Amino acid sequence: MIWNDRPAEPRNWPIADAMASDPAVDATWLAPDRTDYPAMRILITAAQIQKRLSEMAAVLAPAYRDRPLTIVGVLTGSVMFLADLVRRLDMPLRIGLIQASSYRGETTTSGELYVSPGLMPDVRDRHVLLLDDILDTGQTLKRLVQDLRDQGALSVKVCVLLQKKGRQIHHVEVELVGFEIPDEFVVGYGLDYNDEYRQLPYIAVLPAI
């Protein structure tokens, strides 16, 4: 089953416009005297993210009603996405976490995939919704889908907050996408650079390092 839900189009909002139209954006993150963070262009505002999550939950809830569901988040980038999404799902479910990453340390390019087997949840005889912050090359999600199937899941479907245009190398069937974005390195709302910026409530483009 593939949900025919069209991802909302992102907007390349100038910083000033985003702050003016979205009170959820904390202006202190963008203050010119803040020297520890560079000025960043906001791609998707906090308000846009929260609105889209409500739309996604409205699609997911009827699809999994009365089915044994485990939602598995990919650490660490999906934590904010996972927490905000499950609070919108008024239904029985379990939550699991998997640690997997192909970006390590101070890099903006995908490298060798690392998966921590010790965190793999028990998904036997359950339907799994695999959540990740971003679909880039598809390497991580392809591996995790197969691992979860090997663990005896009844079904494994993929839901991502972001999908980068023109970056996917490995075939992964994605049932639900929050936003399609251009091929730029983004941070915020769980996404990081060298484990920083995850706490930002919006998605912003990181300037060239």
The encoded tokens of residue 83 equal 């927490």
Which pLDDT score is estimated for 28? 39
Task: Establish if 203 belongs to a structural domain.
Answer: no
Number of domains in the chain: 1
User: Domain with 71 in it: what CATH number?
Assistant: 3.40.50.2020
CB neighbours of 133 closer than 8 A, spacing ≥ 6? 74, 77, 78, 81, 160, 161, 162, 189, 190, 191
Considering 84, 133, 136, 147, which one is annotated as catalytic?
136
Task: Establish if 119 belongs to a structural domain.
Answer: yes
Residues written for the chain: 209
Task: Establish if 3 belongs to a structural domain.
Answer: no
With contact defined as beta carbons under 8 Å apart, do 189 and 81 qualify?
A: yes
Tens place of pLDDT for every residue, the chain, 209 residues?
445 454 444 433 333 344 434 544 444 344 334 457 788 899 999 999 999 999 999 999 999 999 999 999 999 899 999 999 999 999 999 999 998 766 555 544 555 666 766 677 899 999 999 999 999 888 889 989 998 999 999 999 999 999 998 877 878 899 999 999 999 999 999 999 989 999 999 999 998 76
Task: Establish if 174 belongs to a structural domain.
Answer: yes
CA distance 82 to 71: 8
Task: Establish if 77 belongs to a structural domain.
Answer: yes
Domain containing 120: what range? 42-103+113-183
The pTM of the full predicted model, rounded to 2 decimals, is: 0.77
Task: Establish if 20 belongs to a structural domain.
Answer: no
Catalytic-residue membership of 136: yes
Q: How far is CA 109 from CA 14, 81, 112, 176, 183, in A?
A: 26, 22, 10, 24, 12
**Other beta carbons less than 10 A from residue 77's beta carbon:** 25
Task: Establish if 197 belongs to a structural domain.
Answer: no
CA distance 159 to 69: 14
